[in-house]
Amino acid sequence: MKYLILYTFIFLASAKVSAQSTGNLRTQKEQKTVNVLRKPDGFLYETQVTGPEVKIKIDSSQVIGMSQLASKINTRTAFQNLASLRASKNSLVNAPGVINITDKNLAGTFLLDIKDKVSLDNTGRVIVTASGLRYKRIIHGGLIELAWYGAKGDGNTDDTRAVQNAIDDALSAAPAVNMLPVYAKTGAAGTLLVPVGTFRISTVKVNGSIRIVGQGGGTYAGSFFLQKSPGSAMLLLGPDVDGQSNSTVIENICFRSGSPTSAKDVAQIKTVAGARIQSNSIYIRNCWFQTPETYAIWLTQGDDIQISGCTFDVCPMHAVRLGSVDSGQVQNCTISNNTFFNVSLNHIKLENTLGIVIANNRFYNVGTTIKTATIINGVGATKIYGLTIIGNEYYNIPNFALLETTSSGVVLSGNVGKDTGGAFLYLTGGGIIYGLSITGNVAMSKGAWKNAPIFGPGCGLQSSIIMGNTFYSDTVTNLGIDMPDHRTTNNIIDKNIFTNFHLKDNLYNRPANGQVIPDVTDLRRGDLLYYDDGKIIRIPKGNDGQFLKMVSGVPAWSN
């Protein structure tokens, strides 16, 4: 099947071309107007009028000498299926310059690249004929479709190679502005479009800047990556050609692991660790993570991170891990508007972080309370500085936050918990934690609290505020705040409401921790308050005719 297109070239040429199929693939006659303009940049610009106007930028030097262009490129075109093109034994002399592939899910326009002698056939962007010629797909705006690469998406076929080829091409596909690039160029991010289906994969490497986006109506009818090999990551995010940067966007993809068993340091999405690797600007949005082996997401290092709108569904171990105790630090990361459901251990594990915001998420378990579950766990962390935990809701999870005293600059505000009962904040590590702000939180236990809601008996607390919180115990609990260490000083701890607690707090030096007024239940109308050296002393109401006088440096009523 052959088509003939004749071009008349002068500085500006215009011609009408008719193309008629001689086979059964296409019988409809086509007629179009072609305008070709050579510009000073050495490129030809072609405007085809077959509906909307489209410009095609052709670098003649990449194809053949300019003087021979009229006889060698775009003078012959053909419509073929993929198998016919691969089987073609045409030489360069008689090979069509343009091939239009007609297979379902593979359709597209391919141009002959006479300079390329080494590229491998990957079905999607490069096709190699039996005679060794290489045809390359015209990429529209850097958009790569996974279907081009032969991925089945049936949940049984190993689609690893197809997904890897598609990602590699998307990494090098340059998005065009008002142009359709004939040849992909490296260095600019492309987009990989993942259709509805279940793509079974082992580890796929994403080395560079890319956007991976799925289709479908939701988590139960969308684009799935299914783990093929237990004990291996699904997407491994590595650096670009500079060995440092990353910049990856992943949207609307469902990740499902085939085995719920634990495998050390395995994650469905994981970054490559390294001293020089930055892993900056990673955005994971509207994804679904189901039954990960150990972690759903582990970012070993990075800056400018967003995890938003995702669902973490039935995690036998953990959901998210940030940083590495060995070397890597994650900074300027926001985890917001996500849903965490039935996570057995740590919802968010912090190991080495700076400037983390955890906001407006929903954490809940259904059924029997998982006694080991903790929402934010920083125990064992190298360093945690600048941690804001605000506006989260949690249900049927015992522990809200566990932190080492290596943490500082921590804000917990406006969080609401129901059917809890382990600890709202558990401090450990034996040191002193500075700059802690706990305000406006509400937590209600199911039964008695196992520990005091704010618990840190072996730790000091300084330059901090605990104020305006409400804690409720379903049955009587002993203490509301248990921080008896002598290093707990120079704080404001006041105006908290404790219901069904024997004692509100157990502090080494209560007045040294900023009690604004004594317990309101001890005050009577007409009482006087006297402040002396950090202590507030209640002076009961006097009788008529009495006056205050100083006795041993303390005011007292006269007889």
- Asked if 19 contacts 3 with a C-beta cutoff of 8 angstroms, the reply is yes
- Asked if 361 contacts 334 with a C-beta cutoff of 8 angstroms, the reply is no
Percent of the chain with pLDDT strictly greater than 70: 78
Q: What confidence category does residue 442 fall into, taking pLDDT thresholds of 50, 70 and 90?
A: very high
Q: What is the mean pLDDT of residues 384-405?
A: 96
Q: What confidence category does residue 209 fall into, taking pLDDT thresholds of 50, 70 and 90?
A: confident
- Asked if 246 contacts 213 with a C-beta cutoff of 8 angstroms, the reply is no
- CA pair distance 454, 428, nearest whole angstrom: 11
CA–CA distance from 282 to each of 274, 355, 362 (Å)? Answer: 16, 15, 22
Backbone angles phi, psi at 322, to 5 degrees: -120, 125
Percent of the chain with pLDDT strictly greater than 90: 49
- Tokens at 486, concatenated: 């002598």
CA–CA distance from 501 to each of 165, 411, 413, 455, 465 (Å)? Answer: 62, 25, 22, 14, 21
- Asked if 279 contacts 333 with a C-beta cutoff of 8 angstroms, the reply is no
- CA pair distance 195, 146, nearest whole angstrom: 7
Among 253-262, 315-324, 433-442, 546-555, name the most confident range: 433-442
The pLDDT of residue 414 is 98
Burial profile 325-341: b = 16 or more Cβ within 10 angstroms, e = fewer = eeebbbbbbbbbbbebb
First-last CA distance in the chain: 121
- CA pair distance 209, 238, nearest whole angstrom: 9
264: left (phi over 0), alpha (psi -120 to 50) or beta: beta
Residue ranges of domains in the chain: 3-137, 141-342, 360-516, 523-559
- Tokens at 481, concatenated: 């705040």
- CA pair distance 492, 466, nearest whole angstrom: 6
- Tokens at 504, concatenated: 């509100």
Q: What confidence category does residue 517 fall into, taking pLDDT thresholds of 50, 70 and 90?
A: low
Residues 7-32: tens digit of each pLDDT: 333 333 333 333 333 333 333 333 34
Q: Find all residues with CB under 8 Å of 533, minimum gap 6, and list them.
A: none
Q: Is the dihedral of CA 181, 184, 185, 190 positive or negative?
A: positive
The pLDDT of residue 330 is 94
The pLDDT of residue 167 is 93
DSSP track, 475-510: EEEEEEEEE--TT-BS-EEE--EEEEEEEEEEESSG
111: left (phi over 0), alpha (psi -120 to 50) or beta: beta
373: left (phi over 0), alpha (psi -120 to 50) or beta: beta
Strand partners of residue 222: 216
The pLDDT of residue 448 is 92
Q: What is the mean pLDDT of residues 489-500?
A: 93
- Tokens at 478, concatenated: 């002993």
Q: What is the mean pLDDT of residues 341-361?
A: 96
Q: Has residue 54 got a pLDDT over 50?
A: no
The pLDDT of residue 238 is 87
Q: What confidence category does residue 399 fall into, taking pLDDT thresholds of 50, 70 and 90?
A: very high
- CA pair distance 297, 262, nearest whole angstrom: 14
The pLDDT of residue 197 is 94
Q: What is the mean pLDDT of residues 508-526?
A: 70
Residue 126: closest CA among 104, 141, 140, 108: 108
Mean pLDDT of the chain: 81
CATH of domain 141-342: 2.160.20.10
Question: Which of the residue ranges 89-93, 116-120, 216-220, 338-342 would you say has the lowest mean pLDDT?
Answer: 216-220
Residue 280: closest CA among 215, 328, 313: 328
Q: Has residue 2 got a pLDDT over 60?
A: no
The pLDDT of residue 63 is 44
- Asked if 400 contacts 377 with a C-beta cutoff of 8 angstroms, the reply is no
- pTM summary value: 0.78
Q: Has residue 546 got a pLDDT over 80?
A: yes
